[in-house]
Amino acid sequence: MLETVGAGLRPLTTTAIVDAAIEHVRDDPVLYYGIVAPVVLPLAALGLYFVDLVHDYRGDAAEYTPRVLAAAAALTLLLHLRFVAHGALAWALERRLRGVEATVTDAWRRALPRALPLVFAGALLWWLAFFLSFMLVVPALIPFGLLCLSPAVVMSEETRPFATLRRAVSLGWLEIGRSTAIGLILLLGTCVLAAGTALGVVALLELVRTIFYADLSWLEAVLSLKNPRFAFGAFLAGLALLEPVKTLAFALLYVDRRVRTEGFDLKRKVQLILERAKPPVEAAP
């Protein structure tokens, strides 16, 4: 974990940053999951509904089109709110690194006024990654590496949209390798969580059928790994579980980069040295 006591903040390796993000979530899951849950849970449920809606299209445009448009509009809104949630997570992490308490309400209250640069940088990242992915996988990683530090930049430095891009790129191009490695580690973790969730649901269903001798053949057909929508839902569940870890990992990468190149922890170190140098205050009689 990035320390705020003793020697102050210290540089970390790539895997140590991921471990630190997991430890932060484990230390205060109510705070971090409380920030993202109102967004990622409806987003996962609506995403699964949208895929199911498109898959079951039977040609009745009069009834089908309004539902698709409503679902698409809700997905767009939730995706934009997800970018704001990233900023709220980065702000909460910064407060905890300073040893100051943070709440879910305060995190959202701080992030909402910064919604424009957060959404601008987040939407630009995914649009560039989406268009470049049609060429090759490698070019799609470039905007990801350059802009993945944007939420931490916005919340820590309170930059405007275009200033956010300049600052994020100036820091991100030095961390393309590590940001890509962190992204791959988190993608692997998402797949593991998705597989574990799917197998857990299947095992629970089998246990219920064995204990109660219930005929659950219709439910087994739906909650089966052979059903692509069930597999997609398990993947969305894995993404939701790792959402705060992902954002905190890149926020810690931002802090680590500034520690390495800008002495981000020097002010904290000097403050601690001065506090230690103060003579002890004697109690009044």
Tens of each residue's pLDDT in the chain, 285 residues:
344 433 345 678 899 999 999 999 999 999 999 999 999 999 999 998 888 887 766 556 667 778 888 888 999 999 999 999 999 999 999 999 888 899 999 999 999 999 999 999 999 998 888 887 766 656 778 888 899 999 999 999 999 999 999 999 999 999 999 999 999 999 999 999 999 988 888 888 888 878 877 777 777 777 887 888 888 889 999 999 999 999 999 999 999 998 888 776 655 555 655 666 665 555 554
Instruction: Kindly give the residue spans of alpha helices, DSSP state H, lying in the chain.
Output: 14-27, 29-55, 61-97, 104-111, 115-132, 137-147, 150-157, 161-172, 176-212, 217-222, 228-262, 266-277
- Between vectors from CA 24 to CA 172 and to CA 15, what angle results, nearest 5°? 50
In the chain, the number of structural domains is 1
pLDDT at residue 271, rounded to an integer: 62
Judge whether 222 lies within some domain: yes
- Do 22 and 271 form a contact (C-beta atoms < 8 A)? no
Instruction: Please indicate, yes or no, if residue 109 is contained in any of the structural domains.
Output: yes
Residue 272 is assigned to a structural domain of this protein: no
Q: For residue 282, tell me if it sits in a domain.
A: no
Whether residue 273 is contained in a domain is answered as no
What residues contact residue 174 under an 8 Å CB cut-off, 6+ apart? 257, 261
Q: Which domain holds residue 216?
A: 14-262
Give the C-alpha separation, 49 to 56, whole Å. Answer: 10
Q: Are 117 and 168 in contact (CB under 8 A)?
A: no
pTM to 2 decimals? 0.85
Query: Could you tell me if residue 274 is inside a domain?
Result: no
Residue the block writes with tokens 């698709």: 68
- pLDDT value of position 75: 93
Q: Could you give the C-alpha distances from 243 to 3, 26, 79, 85, 250, in angstroms and in order?
A: 23, 13, 13, 10, 11
Mean of the per-residue pLDDT values for the chain? 84
pLDDT for res 7:
34
Which residues, at least 6 apart from 172, have a Cβ–Cβ distance to it below 8 Å?
A: 145, 146, 147, 148, 149, 179
Inside any domain, residue 5: no
Determine, yes or no, domain membership for 150.
yes
